[in-house]
Structure 1
Amino acid sequence: MMTTVETTQKPRRFYQMMAWVFVAVAFGGFIPTYWLKLMDGSFAGKPILHIHGFLLFAWVLFYAVQVNFVANRKMADHRSWGIAGVSLFTALAISIVLAAINTIKQGELTGFATQAASFSIVTFSGIAIITAFITLAIMNVHRPEWHSRLMSLSFVPLLEAPMARPFAVLMTPPGAVGPPPVFVTLPPSLVIDLLLIAFLIYDRRVLGRFHPVTVWGAIAIIAVQILCVPISTHPAWIATAKAIAGLAS
């Protein structure tokens, strides 16, 4: 029953719509802290941040194109480009780790080593859960109802970063320096979690129930968001983050 229902036009349109929402958040969220500063020449980040940004935007656009292939029943193209997608995501994951290490290194140079190491849990936990979702999606490529949900869910933690940028601009006190405490990531995470509600509503309307992938995926995402707060200040995590950054020395 479920497979039959999900071959209708409605699911294809839903995933198309969500893909372009992902694109809008990814590009729009970085307007105040990247695009505008890039245009006026005030962006002072390291080259790895430009590489990371390029790969992030490429990955989001790649996903939108892949969803469009499915919507237009071009499954051969979708499968063929899926192989390239593995390489693109691998490069993105590496760039995320390197960008996090760069932030920790910058913290060490400016006297905020502990704060930077503490905050890095947001990045490292995010890439871990994203990788888990995508790995499971690849393992379930022959189960479309699982594959599509797992791929879509992988963008919720990925989009926490661009969603957090406008919050940072609006809520950071004047004169504040150094990485913020991890609890400031909860408001933007709560906003991006509205995507989870959209997935659940979609399940209810199309399947008449909540799909287990959506339910357990949402639980995992929210659990990671919450647990990052207490774990970030634990000495074991701070030591681990500094050790990871030390590997790049």
Structure 2
Amino acid sequence: MTTLIDNSRARGVIASPARYFYFNMALACAAVAFLGFAPTYWLPLARGSFSGAPVVHFHGLLFFTWTLYFAFQSWLPASGRTAWHRSLGIGGVSLATAMVIFGVMVAIEAMKHSAAIGQPNEGIAFAIVPLSGIAFFALVFALAIAATRRPETHKRLMLLAAISLLDAAVARWFLTFLAPPGPLGPPPVPVTIAPALVAYLLLVVAIVYDWRRLGRPHPVYVYGGLALVAVKLLNWPISMTPMWHSFAGGLLAMAQ
């Protein structure tokens, strides 16, 4: 009997870290988001030296709130509060909807800024980065909501959606340490690939975790990860096409 009790306790000790894996991943996403934007947003904001349109501040508030919400929602089922997790899910739908709306608005605001400094074509080309990113997030989030009755798929889709947002945060460190001197304009689209691949290392962590526990990566990570990387790589050639310039230029024209 003592042996059975000891084995049960041992299994409990082993199971506990596994139960909190997605919560820990959500905390990692929140940390990357906060630290990534620290040099270009949080620290200048604290010093009173950051200037930006109100839509930029509201966008930042929504996206940072998302990281906290995602961490809290990941903690609830891990701690056995599944009913709370489900009850608060509708709040996530509202928050994600607002993020998509303001993500598009900030992308248009960036195009307007680029046009104001004499770089309209560069701004239109770069707009594919935030617009494709928010579109990918919206699609994966919608799939996650549709899969709420399949928890193993749902939580992996939510993690994929969260990781897909982190390339902008990592890019801020590249911008801080590697950007050439001079006035800032929209960067070339290809320079966004390296920061994205660094951010996607969190997805590699999730894949390795599945591989060790299940013997294979979950299809969400296989197909979703391939789609995520494909979107990032295709941004470059698509951003140079007349079709994209017509589409994004039309958004800019409607906003002016």
The CA RMSD measured in Å over matched residues stands at 1.1
C-alpha deviation, 1:11, in angstroms: 3.7
C-alpha deviation, 1:186, in angstroms: 1.1
Name whichever of 177-186 and 142-151 sits farther off.
Answer: 177-186
1:1-80 → structure 2 map (5 Å cutoff): 9-80=16-87
Structure 1: 4+ residue segments shifted above 2 A: 8-12, 245-249
The aligned amino acid for 1:33 is T
**Is the counterpart of residue 215 in structure 1 residue 222 in structure 2?**
yes
Unaligned runs of 5+ in 2: 1-14
Q: In the aligned structure 2, how far is the partner of 1:12 from the partner of 1:55?
A: 28
Conserved 8 A contact 2:36-2:172: yes
**Is the counterpart of residue 119 in structure 1 residue 114 in structure 2?**
no
Q: In the aligned structure 1, how far is the partner of 2:16 from the partner of 2:250?
A: 50
C-alpha deviation, 1:42, in angstroms: 1.5
Q: In the aligned structure 1, how far is the partner of 2:16 from the partner of 2:53?
A: 45
The aligned amino acid for 1:29 is G
The aligned amino acid for 1:198 is V
Q: In the aligned structure 1, how far is the partner of 2:240 from the partner of 2:179?
A: 20
**Is the counterpart of residue 195 in structure 1 residue 205 in structure 2?**
no
Identity %: 46
- For residue 127 of structure 2, give the secondary structure of its aligned residue in structure 1: helix
Structure 2 equivalent of residue 4 of structure 1: none
Name whichever of 80-89 and 239-248 sits farther off.
Answer: 239-248
Q: In the aligned structure 2, how far is the partner of 1:19 from the partner of 1:53?
A: 18
- For residue 131 of structure 2, give the secondary structure of its aligned residue in structure 1: helix
C-alpha deviation, 1:101, in angstroms: 0.5
Unaligned runs of 5+ in 1: 1-7
C-alpha deviation, 1:177, in angstroms: 3.6
**Is the counterpart of residue 91 in structure 1 residue 98 in structure 2?**
yes
Aligned residues: 242
Structure 2 equivalent of residue 168 of structure 1: 175
- For residue 23 of structure 1, give the secondary structure of its aligned residue in structure 2: helix
- For residue 57 of structure 2, give the secondary structure of its aligned residue in structure 1: helix
C-alpha deviation, 1:12, in angstroms: 2.4
Name whichever of 38-47 and 93-102 sits farther off.
Answer: 38-47
TM-score (normalizing by structure 2): 0.92
C-alpha deviation, 1:9, in angstroms: 3.8
Structure 2 equivalent of residue 205 of structure 1: 212
C-alpha deviation, 1:246, in angstroms: 2.3
Q: In the aligned structure 1, how far is the partner of 2:143 from the partner of 2:205?
A: 21
1:76-155 → structure 2 map (5 Å cutoff): 76-155=83-162
TM-score (normalizing by structure 1): 0.94
Conserved 8 A contact 2:20-2:75: no
- For residue 255 of structure 2, give the secondary structure of its aligned residue in structure 1: coil
Q: Which has the larger radius of gyration?
A: 2
C-alpha deviation, 1:10, in angstroms: 4.3
The aligned amino acid for 2:80 is R
Q: In the aligned structure 2, how far is the partner of 1:46 from the partner of 1:176?
A: 18
C-alpha deviation, 1:194, in angstroms: 0.6
